Amino acid sequence: MDRQQRESLAGLTKNWPSAMQFDVPMAGYSTLRAGGRAAALIDVHRLSELRRLLEQLHEQQLVFRVIGRGSNILVTDKGFPGVIIRLKGELEQVDLVEASDENSDALETKKIEGGELLINAGGGCSLGNFLTWCAQQGLSGLEFMTGIPGSVGGAVRMNAGALGGEIGDCLHSLECVDACGSTIRVPRSDLRLSYRKAELVGRDRERDIDALIVASVNFRLMRVEQGEIRSRCAGYLSRRKGKQPTGVASAGSFFKNPAGDAAGRLIEAAGLKGRCCGEAMVSPVHANFIVNTGKSTATDILTLMEQVQETVFQEFAVRLEPEVEII
């Protein structure tokens, strides 16, 4: 990014709730607590700001990447040459969509069957806050997501899930902003959701989902008694405890499970539990977690990732694919 581009981005965002920051170490924005620098980073608080920013980035031919809670990303030590965008403020809010509201989503609430309700959650909303709100409101459907430390937008992009459920199961539609700053509504039927993957199909199939920012998500949820929801959430949380490393930096499962098997089982069977590279380590608690035990660099983590891939391939002829998005 050259000086003129920096000046014009600084000028655009000067009076916004958060101004553009430059040359930002990404370790502070990733749960792995590692990573190179981004040329720029901004917290965007309104849909109008997001649209204006994307228009300008498009005009200046600058690359961007939206992140949520950084719980599934690793920026390489080379760094990211463009703008990292985070969704805050209005874009973190949650609301029940009322059938009487004067907007198209509201009209669709009437079409929802079987006592389901339509809930709109900002793409930047943390899953933890969203699930707490749902429990308070007596809205059920996503309890299995308890303990996943991401955002609503990041979880949809990854089709995050646990214990047999995926966030895609409760999706109704998305409101997205494209790389030119235009808003697009994406109904559930235009998405192909598979294991840790969301793709666009149907009329939008030519678009790349990587070029869309999920500004907000409509979910279909059911009314259930609050106590019942809380006890389900507690049950899901206790099933996680003891099986995953806690109190240590990680991005959750590092590799996707290959069809019919578990990446953790293969890594453990290859004798890699506890293997280190610098301060990156294959967790002794769960072999599919690569943890940062101190001041690991992104290069340490990626070198260890390659060693794991190579060893598992030699032992079992299975090529493990990272679930973590390497930026």
Catalytically active residues, by annotation:
196, 253, 323
Interaction residues for ligand FAD, span 202-241 (CB under 6 A)? 213-214
Q: Candidates 82, 123, 141, 168: give the one binding ligand FAD (CB under 6 A).
A: 123
CB of 279 to ligand FAD, least distance (A): 17
Instruction: Considering the complex, state which of residue 183 and residue 226 has its C-beta at the smaller distance from ligand FAD.
Output: 183
For residue 108, give the nearest of 204, 188, 182, 223 by alpha carbon: 188
What does DSSP assign to residue 123?
Answer: T
Query: Is residue 148 near ligand FAD by the rule CB under 6 A?
Result: yes
For residue 324, give the nearest of 277, 297, 289 by alpha carbon: 289
CB of 102 to ligand FAD, least distance (A): 26
User: Where are the extended beta strands (E) located within 26-63?
Assistant: 37-44
Q: Candidates 68, 82, 181, 322: give the one binding ligand FAD (CB under 6 A).
A: 68
Instruction: Considering the complex, state which of residue 20 and residue 193 has its C-beta at the smaller distance from ligand FAD.
Output: 193
Residue 66: CB atoms within 10 Å: 24
Would you put residue 226 in left (φ > 0), alpha (ψ -120 to 50) or beta? alpha
Largest CA distance in the chain: 60
Query: Is residue 283 near ligand FAD by the rule CB under 6 A?
Result: no
Query: By the 8 A CB rule, do 26 and 5 touch?
Result: no
Query: Is residue 157 near ligand FAD by the rule CB under 6 A?
Result: yes
CA dihedral sign of residues 158, 162, 164, 166: negative
Q: Candidates 109, 120, 140, 151: give the one binding ligand FAD (CB under 6 A).
A: 151
Q: Candidates 44, 87, 94, 301: give the one binding ligand FAD (CB under 6 A).
A: 87
Instruction: Considering the complex, state which of residue 107 and residue 326 has its C-beta at the smaller distance from ligand FAD.
Output: 326
Query: By the 8 A CB rule, do 136 and 110 touch?
Result: no
Query: Is residue 252 near ligand FAD by the rule CB under 6 A?
Result: yes
Side chain identity at 37, as an amino acid letter?
Answer: R
Instruction: Considering the complex, state which of residue 165 and residue 278 has its C-beta at the smaller distance from ligand FAD.
Output: 165
Task: Give how many residues touch ligand FAD by CB under 6 A.
Answer: 30
Query: By the 8 A CB rule, do 178 and 186 touch?
Result: no
CA distance 58 to 318: 40
Q: Candidates 36, 153, 181, 322: give the one binding ligand FAD (CB under 6 A).
A: 153
Query: Is residue 69 near ligand FAD by the rule CB under 6 A?
Result: yes
Q: Which residues are paired to 40 by β-bridges?
A: 22, 83
Instruction: Considering the complex, state which of residue 100 and residue 246 has its C-beta at the smaller distance from ligand FAD.
Output: 246
Q: Which residues are near ligand FAD by CB under 6 A?
A: 31, 65-73, 87, 123, 148-151, 153-155, 157-158, 160-162, 213-214, 250-252, 325
